Amino acid sequence: MTIDRLERHPGYWDSPWPVECGGNRRQKARVGRLDAANRTAEVTTRHDDRWHVMVVRRDPGEWFVGGTMPRFTGPAPFGWVDRLDPTTLEPVARSPELPCGEHVWCGSIAVHADGSILSVNGSRLHRLDPISLEVLAERRLPVERAHNGMLVLADGSILTKDLRLEGQGGTTISRFAGTDLDPVGAPLVLPEGSMGRIAAEVGADGVERVYVPGTEHVWRLVIDGEAMHVDPEWSPRYRAAGPTSGGLAWDGCLADGSLWLMDAGDLPSIRHIHETVPNGRWDRPPDLSWRQPAPWPAPQRLLRIGLDDAAVADVAPFGAAGGGIIAPPVAVPEHDRVIAWDSVNGGLAGIEASTMRVVWQLDVRPSMQPVVYPDSGELVINDFTPDRRDHVIVVDLETGTLLDRVDTGSRIANGMFLTAGDDHDVWYCTTTVLSRIRWR
């Protein structure tokens, strides 16, 4: 039976992957199957000097990659978008250098319902022509910090947020019209900072709600016409304050009546980048490896937060002290599974969602945003090997069986996004490498 998991959302172009994670609920799911165990992987790789963040699709054959420049010192960085030849991965069109306020951080791109390409990078938002990638509109964001978490709401307006760590004040949520990028309503400042990206869905009652992981609580915003407000009845605490409590949460995944999170995300490299302004810029950069020991003794946790009752449940699948991650989990309700991992210590786990029981573990070291195929029960994620090569692996969601392993050609792993293609293929993004892996 084919499982229809496409999020047909009125804010986006009619595409199976118009935005990071495939949709606003961040379920990272694609209809169809890879059948990787019975096919042979073919890899096409592009090497350059760019930080590739994510790939999105417009019409069939129209693929776009967006990112920034990994210039932590020296010449000023800028954002960029390429329209790709899916066979060679070379740019068919390339945007001009997009100002970013000199912040170095992974932003976001998306295909708006009007067909234009949106890009948020650093402290700037751009709207681009989908053919030439010329700039149609530009907006300086109200806060001079790096932004992440751009989503399009059901009315076509764009929501984004700045990134703030513990002790850096409240995060600002800003909203803009999709065409001219004019502000929609007043920005909203949360009571806490926020590191992870936002997730959203329209409920059965027709109300659109946005979920923002803070430094101690998760906040729910209610969209009410051109206004938005914090839900006063839903702000569950997932983390105690203080240095021994574990780290901050990255993005959430909305599935099966719950918000799924992993904590322990503000590793030393993340703190370095966001404790300097412009974010990620120095005369002499510090050590930015995510492999450094975590600055807390707590193990990596997976958290389930009820959307109705705000109840919090958690499990530490690996138990090793000083766990840490740079990407969020994924829930697959068709298989009663949630997938979690520990990037610092290593380990990938399948958790039974209904019971929070660990069902299987695999000795690999993932770091990035995965893709899942519920129809075939396949998980696609990376494994940064002991010899420092980044592989893409395919894993059986229910049993944890390793189905395939593919060398991407990269020696740099980070927390960027995998994207599901249209022809038994997956796009892979990291610093200086863009790859397309097709199982033939």
Express each pLDDT in 202-228 by its tens digit: 999 999 999 999 999 999 999 999 999
Average pLDDT of the residues in 396-410: 97
- The mean pLDDT value for 72-87 works out to 98
Residue 2: its pLDDT value, please? 36
**Where does the pLDDT of residue 240 fall: very low under 50, low under 70, confident under 90, or very high at 90 and above?**
confident
Which secondary-structure segment (H or E) carries 268? helix 268-274
Burial class from Cβ neighbours inside 10 Å (0-12, 13-18, 19+) for residue 285 reads middle
- Is residue 1 scored above 60 in pLDDT? no
Contact 399, 23 (CB under 8 A): no
pTM of the predicted model, to two decimals?
0.97
Query: Residues 310-325: what's their mean pLDDT?
Result: 97
Query: pLDDT by residue (tens digit) across 253-274?
Result: 999 999 999 999 999 999 999 9
Residue of 194, 256, 245 lying closest to 219 (CA atoms):
194
- How large is the average pLDDT for residues 368-389? 97
What pLDDT does residue 134 have? Answer: 98
Distances, alpha carbon 285 to alpha carbons 272, 280, 282, 326, 367, in Å: 9, 8, 5, 19, 22
Which pLDDT band, with edges at 50, 70 and 90, does 8 fall under? confident
How much is the mean pLDDT over the chain? 96
Domain 20-439: CATH superfamily is YVTN repeat-like/Quinoprotein amine dehydrogenase (2.130.10.10)
Looking at the DSSP bridge assignments, the partners of residue 56 are 64
**pLDDT, position 3:** 42
Helix (H) or strand (E) holding 269: helix 268-274
pLDDT level of residue 242 (50, 70, 90 thresholds)? low
